[in-house]
Each structure stands twice: as structure tokens, then as C-alpha cells.
Amino acid sequence: TINALRGGTQTMTIFRNPETLSGILTEAADRILHGQEPEINDTETYQNGSMIVPAYRMKPTALTKENLEKEYVEPGFALTAEIID
């Protein structure tokens, strides 16, 4: 996918920063372990057939050729040398 973005054969892909995600999950687990409710930011989207399921929705990043370096390479998810043109 990354090489396809750089090569222009793919326009974009959805990316969720795993470091941000792990922070959100760690905070939720900590709150649950301490008898608190985890943070919820969506009480409308997820319906399991019998109820609305409260959730935390992490905003994704649209990863494109233009922001690939800033959003993916600079944070260390890939080295520029590892991405083949």
C-alpha cells in the first residue's frame, strides 16, 4: 500500500496511528480497572441488533502520497529507505 501511494497507483488509504490507539486503549483499561467508565465519544453509530453499543471512535488519517512522509515515515513507522519507488 505504501509503495502504491508513492508510485501513484493508489490515491489514499486509511491509517490509524498505533501509538495513539494504544494510548486510548491503555486509558480505557486503566479506567475499567479502577471502577470507572471508559471514555465514550459515540452513542449513536453501533447497533448490535438489540441495543446501541457505546463506543470510542478514533479519527483515522487519510494517508496520501502528499502526507505519507509526515504521517507515516517521520513518526518512524517506516524508513524512507525501506519504501521502494
pLDDT of res. 84: 57
Q: What phi-psi label fits residue 21: left (phi over 0), alpha (psi between -120 and 50 degrees) or beta?
A: alpha
User: 85 near 7, Cβ under 8 Å?
Assistant: yes
Q: Which residues contact 49 (CB under 8 A, 6 or more apart)?
A: none
Reading the block at residue 78, the C-alpha cell is 517506516
Query: Can you list the alpha helix ranges (DSSP code H) found in 1-85?
Result: 2-7, 18-33, 68
Per-residue pLDDT of the chain (85 residues; tens, 9 = 90+): 888 998 899 999 999 999 999 999 999 999 999 999 999 999 999 999 999 999 999 999 999 999 998 999 888 888 665 665 5
pLDDT of res. 37: 96
Q: What is the pTM of this model?
A: 0.72
Residues 73, 75, 79, 83, CA torsion sign: negative
Domain ranges of the chain: 1-16+61-85, 27-59
